Structure 1
Amino acid sequence: MSEISDETDENILQPKSRAGLAAFGFVATATAGLFIVSSSFIAPALRKICLPFVPATDVQLKNVVSALKHPTKFGKSVVDIGSGDGRVVITVAKMGFSAVGYELNSWLVLYSKIQAITKGVASHATFKRMDLWKASYTKFDNVVIFGVDELMPNLEKKLIAELKPGSKVIACRFPFPNLPVTATHGKGVDTVWTYIV
């Protein structure tokens, strides 16, 4: 009698155990995936100077386009430092620029590459996973940066040291502390400052 009872109990428990293991496996996999994806967004916040991903507003994008209106005068190469979701790079590539986006977040780089392909500008818009301090800016005619206040003084020194004379720098959200402003577009949080190095 007890043997039958034990066997019956084992048969009853087995499906529940499999369902429990499957649920545990699903939760563990989802948690690991969430950690992997979110860590690439959180890691930049742990750096000494954080450059968070905040998408450009439509007005900011329009002001950047206004600042870059004359590609023949300043050359046709653009780098967007901290390119995020790739909107700036894709937009200026449509204008005829050869545009590169440097971004530390590998998921945003992948997303931007897919967007460039779907928008038909992959030949003019490229994205690289790159630390802005390790990148070289010597080959670019135009630079776009959506920066943060703490970043701007050191980035200003780096750009002055590396850019060709006559290069255009467009700063969004925060201006550079020492470079003389040659033009502004927009106002308030949407202000874009233009500098000629």
Structure 2
Amino acid sequence: MSDLVPGATPGRKRRWGLALLGIVSGTGLALSLGAAPFVAPALRRVCLPFVPASPAQVEVVLRLLKGRRGELVDIGSGDGRIVIAAAKQGFRAVGYELNPWLVWYARYKAWQEGVHHNTRFYISDLWKVDFSEYNNVVIFGVPQMMKSLEEKLQSELKSSARVVACRFSFPNWTAVRESGKGIDTAWLYDAKSFKTTGKKS
């Protein structure tokens, strides 16, 4: 008994098979390319997942940096809400984020909020960035990265810098102030303190 559809020829069946294979392959490739920016960070040694900052967390960060001015950097800036909020408070704010989709979205939101002239967003791995030019640093980290980031910032930042760590504190630094509750807790660190500690050790 023939497997062919009635009236179909072997050549036509072969062409339909190739067309179906092309569609499936193309769809798979498109999905792979679309998912790559989200999957790639998870394949790195330390994964920094995107968890949007709550309005309370944004408020805590700005409260801890009240009275400060100049350049501010958000390490792992996600959708840009900390950077945008800081720009509205007079900071020249910069965000570094590995996920290009989030960077493009953040740039759009900054334009929409009217602060695109005072904000910049870069697609970059935080471990490849020199943060020495920044006096105000914000980080939403994970426990696995805090010790390594502590060492990096201690070696790069000037003594005039202040660092705000959200959700998780640094393991060896002593915070000069703490604000917020639960997951909205943030710690403020003065570089004068940890730079001195670093020289003694």
Query: Match for residue 95 of structure 1?
Result: 89
Query: What residue is the counterpart of 1:51 in the other structure?
Result: 48
Correspondence for 1:39 among 33, 36, 39: 36
Partner residue of 2:131 out of 137, 140, 145 = 137
2:115 paired with 1:121: yes
- Equivalent in the alignment of 2:60: 63
Which amino acid in 2 is paired with 1:67? L
Displacement of 1:178 in angstroms is 1.0
SS of the aligned residue for 1:143 comes to strand
SS at match of 1:34: helix
Structure 2: gaps spanning 5 or more residues: 1-5, 192-201
Q: How far apart are the structure 1 equivalents of 2:90 and 2:23? A: 46
Q: Which secondary structure state, in structure 2, belongs to the residue aligned with residue 110 of structure 1?
A: helix
Q: Distance in 2 between matches of 1:133 and 1:100?
A: 16
1:37–1:107 CA contact under 8 A, matched in 2: no
* 3-state DSSP of counterpart to 1:115: helix
Counterpart residue number, 2:161:
167
Aligned-pair identity in percent equals 49
Runs (4 or more) in structure 1 with deviation over 6 Å come to: 16-24
Q: Distance in 1 between matches of 2:181 and 2:115?
A: 30
Structure 1 residues 163-186: Cα deviation after superposition (integer angstroms, max 9, x where no partner):
110211000111001111011110
Q: Deviations over 1:51-80 (max 9, x none)?
A: 111111121111111112112xxx321000
RMSD: 2.3
Equivalents in 1 of 2:149, 2:119: separation in Å? 23
- Please give the secondary structure, in 2, of the residue aligned with 1:153: helix
1:77 and 1:141 in contact (8 A); partners too: yes
* CA gap 1:69/1:29 in 2 versus in 1, 3 angstroms: farther
Q: Which residue of 2 aligns with 1:5?
A: none
Report the TM-score, using the length of structure 2 for normalisation: 0.82
With over 3 angstroms needed to count, the CA separation of the structure-2 counterparts of 1:110 and 1:19, relative to structure 1, is farther
Aligned partner of residue 80 in structure 1, secondary structure: strand
Displacement of 1:24 after TM fit?
6.5
Cα distance in 1 between the residues matched to 2:30 and 2:101: 12
Q: Distance in 2 between matches of 1:61 and 1:20?
A: 54
CA contact (8 A) 1:102 1:130 kept: yes
The AA in structure 2 aligned to 1:121 is V
Distance 2:60 2:133 in 1: 24
Give distance in 2, aligned partners of 1:65 and 1:23.
55
CA contact (8 A) 1:147 1:172 kept: yes
